Chains A and B, each alone.
Chain A
Amino acid sequence: MSVSQLRFTYPGEHHAALDGIDLEVTAGERVALLGPNGSGKTTFVMHLNGLLELQDGAITIGDLAMSEDNLREIRRRVGAVFQDADDQLFMPTVRDDVAFGPANLGVAADELDRLVVETLERVGAGALIDRSPHHLSGGEKRRVAIATVLSMSPHLLVLDEPTSGLDPAGRRELIDLLVGLPQTQMVVTHDLPFALQICPRSVIISGGRVVADGPTRELLADAALLAQHRLELPFGFDPTRV
Chain B
Amino acid sequence: MSGAHAHGSAVDSLFVEAESAVHGLAPDAKLVALVGFVVAAALTPRTSVWAFGVYAVAIWLVVFVSHVPVRVVLRRLAVIVPFVIFAVLIPFIGGGEQTQVLGVSLSVDGLWAMWNILAKASIGATASIVLSATTRVPDVLTGLTRLRVPRVLVAIIAFMMRYLDLLVRQLGRMRTSMTARCHDPRWLWQVKPIASSAGALFVRSYERGERVHQAMLARGYTGTMPTLDRRPATAVDWSRAASLPLVAVVTLIVAVVL
Residues in A lying within 8 Å of B, measured CB to CB: 46, 49, 51, 72, 75-76, 79-80, 82, 84-88, 90-93, 95-96, 99-101, 103-105, 108, 112-113, 132-139, 141, 148-149, 152, 165-166
* Of the residues B2, B6, B166, B226, contact of A103 by C-beta under 8 Å: B226
- Taking CB atoms, residues of chain B closer than 8 Å to A135 are 4-6, 9, 12
Q: Is B173 part of the binding interface, using a Cβ–Cβ cutoff of 8 Å?
A: no
Residue of A nearest to B211 (CB): A87
Closest B residue, CB atoms, query A82: B215
A90 pairs with B159, CB closer than 8 A: yes
Is the CB–CB distance between B9 and A105 below 8 Å? no
**Does B77 make an interface contact (CB < 8 A)?**
no
For residue B1, which residues in chain A have a CB less than 8 angstroms away from its CB?
A: 84-86, 138, 165
Chain B positions within 8 Å of A166 at CB level = 2
Number of interface residues of B (CB under 8 A): 35
* Contact partners of A149 in chain B: CB under 8 A: 218-219
In the complex, the answer to whether A104 meets B5 with C-beta atoms within 8 Å is no
Given contacts A92-B161, A103-B226, whether A137 and B215 have CB atoms under 8 Å apart is: no
Give the interface SS of chain B, mostly helix, strand, loop or mixed. helix
Contacts known (A103-B227, A103-B228, A135-B6); A87 close to B220, Cβ less than 8 A: no
Q: List 13 A-B contacts (CB under 8 A).
A: A72-B222, A80-B218, A90-B159, A91-B158, A91-B228, A104-B219, A104-B221, A134-B9, A134-B166, A135-B5, A137-B2, A137-B4, A165-B1
A1 to chain B, nearest CB (A): 16
Q: Using Cβ atoms and an 8 Å threshold, which residues of chain B touch A99?
A: 226, 228
Cβ of B230 within 8 Å of any chain A Cβ, yes or no, is yes
| B162 CB within 8 Å of chain A | yes
Q: Is the CB of B11 within 8 A of A132?
A: yes
Interface centre among A101, A105, A165 (most CB of B within 10 A): A101
Rounded to whole angstroms, the CA-CA distance of A203 and B184 in the bound complex is 49
Contact of B211 among A82, A103, A104, A105 (CB under 8 A): A82
Cα A51 to Cα B159 in complex, Å, equals 21
Q: Which residues of A contact B11 (CB under 8 A)?
A: 132, 134
Taking a contact as CB atoms under 8 Å apart, the answer to whether A132 and B138 are in contact is yes
Query: In the docked arrangement, what's the CA distance between A159 and B1, Å?
Result: 18
Interface presence of B216 (CB below 8 A): yes
A46, B227: Cβ atoms under 8 Å? no
A105-B12 contact in complex given A92-B161, A113-B230, C-beta closer than 8 Å = no
Known: A51-B217, A87-B208. A134 touches B162 (CB 8 A): yes
The 7 A-B residue pairs with the shortest CB-CB distance, nearest first, are A138-B2, A103-B226, A104-B220, A92-B138, A101-B219, A87-B211, A165-B2
Q: Told that A75-B217, A101-B219, A105-B220 touch, could you supply 12 new A-B pairs with CB distance under 8 A?
A: A72-B222, A75-B220, A79-B218, A80-B215, A86-B163, A87-B215, A88-B215, A113-B230, A137-B4, A138-B3, A148-B219, A152-B220
**Closest-CB distance, B14 to chain A (whole angstroms):** 13
Contact among A85, A90, A103 with B162 in the assembled complex (CB-CB below 8 Å) = A90
Q: Could you say which residues of chain A place their CB within 8 Å of the CB of B161?
A: 92
How far is A148 from B226 in the complex, measured between Cα atoms in Å? Answer: 14
Taking CB atoms, residues of chain B closer than 8 Å to A96 are 138, 228
A62→B2 CA distance, assembly (Å): 36
Minimum distance in angstroms from B7 CB to a CB of chain A: 9
Q: Which residues of B contact A90 (CB under 8 A)?
A: 159, 162-163, 212, 215-216
Task: Assess the B4–A136 pair: CB atoms within 8 A.
Answer: yes
